[in-house]
């Protein structure tokens, strides 16, 4: 039954029989047979299908929600029993918004020292994708903006603040600070509008009366930094990532003055599913996050 629920979750997530079969490491006929057996066991049709997957039925949607809880608990129990036998081991899958990628090592390095048998898969994701993939059991945790979901447990880690990134020979490079209104009048390259960081910056520029009209947009901060290095463009980035990109690239950061509305920064933190109990590896990650949050407050 558990393996059939695992396959059903994969199908509901992938919306495609072939990709779902690949995700769980079985053949497509094996997966299709398992779904039909699950339907027979439960006495309802779970999937609308013609030549290919079409959608979950209303009953399938309800079973999917229940299956996520069951499989989440089963995985946590398996991990707990493994930890009791051999200690903490396995893989932690962490989704991270692009602007927080430079700080992930501040969690993973101390974690790895204490639990060397645990490995990490760190994936760059948009904020909305992180929440969805945690809910679908595709991620164990995320580092993203906090305060956007009551479905998740959050540990705030730091406040995201912004600066102007320019080439070292740009006119603005020697300034002590710059206003948001002045930033909006520069030729900008910014993250794409599907990124929450971009939407935050858009609101700040709108409030200053200079709406963003970027010439270059990308979902990669590396691409933005390379454009800034040409001297033709400037960018607005969180201080954390701007400082990680600047050295060696001929780039400098210029502080952006706070508006009268106060500090525009958003809190970034660790989020996990609200589950009791969490798996041992996730519990250990929560412990590291709380320790990091305490250090940030010192």
Domains plus CATH for the chain?
Answer: 1-86 (1.10.10.10), 87-160+265-297 (3.40.190.10), 162-255 (3.40.190.290)
3-state secondary structure 189-220: EEECCCCHHHHHHHHHHHHCCCCCCCCEEECC
Q: Where are the beta strands (DSSP E) in 168-213?
A: 189-191
**Cβ(184)–Cβ(208) below 8 Å:** yes
Classified as helix, coil or strand, 266 is strand
Q: What is the pLDDT of residue 244?
A: 84
pLDDT of residue 298 exceeding 60:
no
CA distance 284 to 157: 16
Residue written as token pair 């540990």: 155
pLDDT of residue 261 exceeding 60:
no
Q: What is the pLDDT of residue 259?
A: 66
Percentage of the chain exceeding pLDDT 70: 96
Q: What is the pLDDT of residue 83?
A: 85
Q: What is the pLDDT of residue 247?
A: 64
CA distance 7 to 40: 15
Residue 143 pairs in a beta bridge with 96, 270
CA distance 152 to 274: 5
CB-count exposure of residue 108 (10 Å: 0-12, 13-18, 19+): middle
Residue 246 is classified by DSSP as: S
Q: What residues have CB less than 8 Å from 171, skipping those under 6 apart?
A: none
Q: Give the gyration radius of the chain's Cα atoms.
A: 23
Q: Half-sphere exposure of 246 toward its Cβ, with a 13 Å CA cutoff?
A: 21
Whole-model pTM: value is 0.81
pLDDT digits (tens, 9 = 90+) for 48-103: 987 788 899 999 999 999 999 899 889 888 888 988 888 899 999 999 998 899 99
> Can you say whether residue 145 is alpha, beta or left, with left for phi > 0 and alpha for psi between -120 and 50 degrees?
beta
List own/partner pairs for 258-262 with CB under 8 A and 24 or more apart.
259/180, 259/204, 259/207, 259/208, 261/207
pLDDT of residue 30 exceeding 80:
yes
**Cβ(273)–Cβ(151) below 8 Å:** yes
Q: How confident is the model at residue 297 (pLDDT cuts 50, 70, 90)?
A: low
The secondary structure element, H or E, covering residue 263 is none
Phi, psi of 50 (to 5 degrees): -120, -115
Which ranges in the chain belong to alpha helices (H)?
A: 2-14, 17-24, 28-42, 58-86, 105-114, 127-135, 180-184, 196-207, 221-228, 239-245, 280-297
Q: Which two tokens stand for residue 103?
A: 């700080």
């Amino acid at each position: 039954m558990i393996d059939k629920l695992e396959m059903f979750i994969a199908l509901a997530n992938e919306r495609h029989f072939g990709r779902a079969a690949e995700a769980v490491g079985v053949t497509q006929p094996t997966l299709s047979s398992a779904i039909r057996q699950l339907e027979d066991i439960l006495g309802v049709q779970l999937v609308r299908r013609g030549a290919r997957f079409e959608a979950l039925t209303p009953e399938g949607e309800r079973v999917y929600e229940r299956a996520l809880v069951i499989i989440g608990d089963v995985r946590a129990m398996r991990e707990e029993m493994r930890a009791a036998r051999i200690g903490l081991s396995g893989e932690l899958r962490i989704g991270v918004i692009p602007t927080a990628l430079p700080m992930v090592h501040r969690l993973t390095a101390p974690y790895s020292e204490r639990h060397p048998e645990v490995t990490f898969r760190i994936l760059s994701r948009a904020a909305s994708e992180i929440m969805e993939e945690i809910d679908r059991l595709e991620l164990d945790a995320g580092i993203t903006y906090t305060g956007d979901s009551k479905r998740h447990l959050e540990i705030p880690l730091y406040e995201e603040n912004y600066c102007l990134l320019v080439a070292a020979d740009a006119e603005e490079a020697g300034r002590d600070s710059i206003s948001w209104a002045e930033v909006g009048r520069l030729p900008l390259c910014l993250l794409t509008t599907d990124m929450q960081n971009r939407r935050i910056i858009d609101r700040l520029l709108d409030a200053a009366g200079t709406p963003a009209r970027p010439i270059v947009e990308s979902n990669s901060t590396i691409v933005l930094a390379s454009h800034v290095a040409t001297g033709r463009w400037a960018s607005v980035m969180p201080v954390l990532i701007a400082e990680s990109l600047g050295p060696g690239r001929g780039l400098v950061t210029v502080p952006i003055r706070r508006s009268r509305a106060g500090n525009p920064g958003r809190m970034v933190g660790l989020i996990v599913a609200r589950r009791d109990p969490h798996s041992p590896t996730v519990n250990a990650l929560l412990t590291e996050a709380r320790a990091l949050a305490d250090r940030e407050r010192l």
